[in-house]
Amino acid sequence: MLDLRLYMLQRLSALVMAPLVLGHLALMVYAVQGGISAGEILARTQGSLGWALYYGLFLVAAAIHAAIGLRVILAETLALRSRAFLDLFTLAVGAVFLILGLRALHAVTLA
């Protein structure tokens, strides 16, 4: 039952990420074609609560998606069946990705 829930959670995270990635790419293409540099984009988004929420949602979804995906890869590649180890691994990887992402988000967007 847990595997089904994780599968559904990973699919849900993909559904959240897809439009966010497309929006990000569209905005970057528009900005670059308009002659705006990466530095100018960062300057315009710093301190913006909207951008912080946008990228914050993306990083939460990405952390969930990646942690579950790595859990499956680890279980299948190494034939691990220890649910406790896989649970701990998934939580640890998800937490590390989330912490690193939030640090980067804070440094770039809210600083």
pLDDT band at 37 (very low <50, low <70, confident <90, very high): confident
Rounded distance between C-alpha atoms, residue 111 and residue 87, angstroms: 34
Domain enclosing residue 105, as ranges = 4-110
> Which of 63, 55, 69 shows the shortest CA–CA distance to 95?
63
Read off the pTM.
0.85
Show the tokens assigned to 70: 């790595």
> Which of 15, 16, 41, 43 shows the shortest CA–CA distance to 27?
41
The CATH number linked to 8 is: 1.20.1300
Whether pLDDT at 13 is above 90: yes
What is the rounded average pLDDT of the residues 10-14? Answer: 96
Whether pLDDT at 25 is above 90: yes
Whether pLDDT at 111 is above 70: no
| Contacting residues for 17 by C-beta, under 8 A, at least 6 apart | 58, 61, 62, 65
Number of domains in the chain: 1
List, for residues 47-84, the tens digit of each pLDDT value. 888 888 999 999 999 999 999 999 999 999 988 778 89
